[in-house]
Structure 1
Amino acid sequence: MQILKATIDDCATIRRIASTTWADTYREILSPEQSEYMLNMMYSDHSLAQQMENGHHFVLAIDEQSGEYRGLVSYEFGYHGENKVKIHKLYVLPESHGSGLGKLLVDYVAEQALAHGCNTITLNMNRFNHSHGFYTHMGFVIAGEEDIDIGNGYLMEDYIFEKTIG
């Protein structure tokens, strides 16, 4: 698997990975209307460009043999002015679950974090998401809970996970 830095030219690929993974992960958690709202809000070309301009780094994982993109991660250094890296998005296509790709992407972020003087990785995860075991297996602990009003009457009900690195 090869990790490539994404650019604005990769928006369609980012959107495809997110929507494919989203459908598998959130179909039993979110209504179709909320899913559509959130995907449009976070994955339009305009939104992705803004995220990239505001310090979100996107990387894509590509299977070197097939040439197919299998996952992505986006992250931000110095989250809230602290020595933290925030993982904003981590998606692995359903057919690649269990392949070690999620670990590879988290490890990549950890390497980048350490290189930038950060000692903690933080992320939010929907409290009803079944990926809880993945994150605890990776050494993350629940540091809190957060409810975020995202507009249109929708609420993100998240755990805040953290992992100390280095």
Structure 2
Amino acid sequence: MIKIIPATVNDARIIHELAHAIWYPTYKDVISLDQIDFMLEKSYTEEALIAAMEADVSFYILLERGFPVGFMSLEPQKECLRIGKLYLLPNTQGKGYGKVFIDFAAEQALKAGITALELNVNRNNPAYGFYLKQDFEVVESVDIPYYQYVLNDYVMRKPLQP
């Protein structure tokens, strides 16, 4: 049994712990260990997560049998609902939970009158193939300077039918 629940500032520790459990196995063959450490320190401290929540970013936690196994963040933009983060523990990948999160995001967008989802994915991340299967299309290839690193991403968009 799975369930998606809204996260609050009280859940920042859970998201922090999930991020640390997910990022190392997910990105070890994509970016350097130094960059993984840096990104976790920049974006996934409890303080950084709480600041994002207070800046109107909505976080959600996916529970499997009552245990947190993934998280997602959503942020409304002018023309789309942006999926800022979508991560699942490696041992839950392939169970359809990513699709559950995407479908949930689509529902939230349509409820708000928004007709597209958008996200960035590292060009070397295997999740790129998953997003293609979920009907996302590449709208742009970007190289984003981020402190001493460069984020090599695809911007992907999925149109939604009301």
TM-score, length-scaled by structure 1: 0.93
Q: Report the equivalent of 2:151.
A: 156
Paired residue type of 1:14: I
Is the contact made by 1:21 and 1:91 (CA closer than 8 Å) also made in structure 2? yes
- Aligned residue among 97, 102, 110 for 2:93: 97
> How big is each residue's C-alpha offset from its partner over 1:51-92, in whole Å with a ceiling of 9 and x where there is no partner?
11111100001113xx21111110101x1xx23000000001
- How far residue 39 of structure 1 moved from its aligned partner, in angstroms, is 0.4
Query: Separation in 2 of the partners of 1:72 and 1:132?
Result: 18
Is the contact made by 1:75 and 1:89 (CA closer than 8 Å) also made in structure 2? yes
Query: Separation in 1 of the partners of 2:41 and 2:116?
Result: 30
Q: Report the equivalent of 2:102.
A: 106
Q: Report the equivalent of 1:74.
A: 73
RMSD over aligned CA atoms reads: 0.9
Does the residue aligned with 2:91 lie in a helix, a strand or coil? helix
Q: Report the equivalent of 1:25.
A: 26
Does the residue aligned with 1:98 lie in a helix, a strand or coil? coil
1:121 equivalent in alignment to 2:120: no
Q: Report the equivalent of 1:83.
A: 79
Query: Separation in 2 of the partners of 1:139 and 1:19?
Result: 29
Query: Separation in 2 of the partners of 1:141 and 1:89?
Result: 17
- Aligned residue among 129, 136, 139 for 1:133: 129
- How far residue 144 of structure 1 moved from its aligned partner, in angstroms, is 0.5
Query: Separation in 2 of the partners of 1:155 and 1:114?
Result: 33
Is the contact made by 2:79 and 2:116 (CA closer than 8 Å) also made in structure 1? yes
Query: Separation in 2 of the partners of 1:139 and 1:18?
Result: 26
Query: Separation in 2 of the partners of 1:104 and 1:98?
Result: 11
Does the residue aligned with 1:28 lie in a helix, a strand or coil? coil
Is the contact made by 2:122 and 2:128 (CA closer than 8 Å) also made in structure 1? no
Is the contact made by 1:147 and 1:155 (CA closer than 8 Å) also made in structure 2? yes
Is the contact made by 1:83 and 1:117 (CA closer than 8 Å) also made in structure 2? no
Matched pairs, number: 160
- How far residue 30 of structure 1 moved from its aligned partner, in angstroms, is 1.3
TM-score, length-scaled by structure 2: 0.95
Query: Separation in 2 of the partners of 1:121 and 1:145?
Result: 17
- How far residue 27 of structure 1 moved from its aligned partner, in angstroms, is 0.3
Structure 1 residue runs without a partner (length 5+): none
Query: Separation in 2 of the partners of 1:103 and 1:157?
Result: 24
Query: Separation in 1 of the partners of 2:114 and 2:56?
Result: 15
Query: Separation in 2 of the partners of 1:98 and 1:23?
Result: 18
